[in-house]
Chains A and B, each alone.
Chain A
Amino acid sequence: AQSVAQPEDQVNVAEGNPLTVKCTYSVSGNPYLFWYVQYPNRGLQFLLKYITGDNLVKGSYGFEAEFNKSQTSFHLKKPSALVSDSALYFCAVRDPNTGTASKLTFGTGTRLQVTL
């Protein structure tokens, strides 16, 4: 069975500074990896995905993620954080052997707090 770990409950960063939200995964075979963001009382909003190809994936709102197969990691990054980036971030993995894109295993989430 696949699993995802987000080792940090919260990440604090000053506006303008780079941010990193960490994610490691465990899955048999090639992973399908995703990042979602959740604002208060809202659903999940898709940010980016890694299916295959370049290890650096670019997504919405200036976010990017680096896939590292040897370290089984998929860390989310942004060069310059904004206060409006403050939200709950989820890393997720999809079992590549299932025929569905909507059965995901999520990490526990990391709260990003960006301050002025």
Chain B
Amino acid sequence: KAGVTQTPRYLIKTRGQQVTLSCSPISGHRSVSWYQQTPGQGLQFLFEYFSETQRNKGNFPGRFSGRQFSNSRSEMNVSTLELGDSALYLCASSSAGARNTEAFFGQGTRLTVV
């Protein structure tokens, strides 16, 4: 069974640009969450999607958005990039409705804003 796949692995963008990151969950997983990891703030929850609907949201500005498609693949978008958006963005998927299961993470997308 393939794991969680995130593309691209690395990105370099300029301040003010926008970026889209992609996440393909494990087959059969309908819940996808996104996290931002930085040295200063650690791992912070961005949002979670389930059946194409945002179910939970972390404390991030509106520049951070996401969506989920009918095949459970998810994208997150960051508009008007700032230097502080440089981070490792991690996607996690889990089985829906299984309260005792764990989340599985992708390898992340390393975003560098210059």
Chain A residues within 8 Å of B, Cβ to Cβ: 32, 34, 36, 41-46, 49, 51-52, 90, 96, 98-109
- Residues of A within 8 Å of B101, CB to CB, are 101
Is the Cβ of B43 less than 8 Å from the Cβ of A102? no
A23 shortest CB reach to chain B, Å: 14
What is the CA–CA distance of A52 and B99 in the complex, to the nearest angstrom? 11
Is the Cβ of B105 less than 8 Å from the Cβ of A36? yes
Give the interface SS of chain A, mostly helix, strand, loop or mixed. Answer: loop
For the side of the interface on B, what is the size category? 20 to 34
What is the CA–CA distance of A34 and B92 in the complex, to the nearest angstrom? 14
In the complex, whether B2 has a CB less than 8 A from a CB of chain A is no
Is the Cβ of B100 less than 8 Å from the Cβ of A102? no
What is the CA–CA distance of A62 and B108 in the complex, to the nearest angstrom? 26
- Residues of A within 8 Å of B97, CB to CB, are 99
Residues of B45-81 contacting chain A, CB below 8 A: 45, 48, 50, 55-56
Given contacts A41-B110, A42-B108, A98-B56, contact A103 B102 (CB under 8 A): no
Is the Cβ of A104 less than 8 Å from the Cβ of B42? no
Is the Cβ of A101 less than 8 Å from the Cβ of B95? yes
In the complex, whether B86 has a CB less than 8 A from a CB of chain A is no
- Residues of A within 8 Å of B93, CB to CB, are 102
In the complex, whether B24 has a CB less than 8 A from a CB of chain A is no
What is the CA–CA distance of A41 and B90 in the complex, to the nearest angstrom? 11
Is the Cβ of A51 less than 8 Å from the Cβ of B100? yes
Most buried by A among B33, B50, B102, B104: B102
B23 shortest CB reach to chain A, Å: 11
- Residues of B within 8 Å of A43, CB to CB, are 4, 6, 90, 105-108
Most buried by B among A44, A45, A52: A44
- Residues of B within 8 Å of A107, CB to CB, are 42
What is the CA–CA distance of A106 and B43 in the complex, to the nearest angstrom? 6
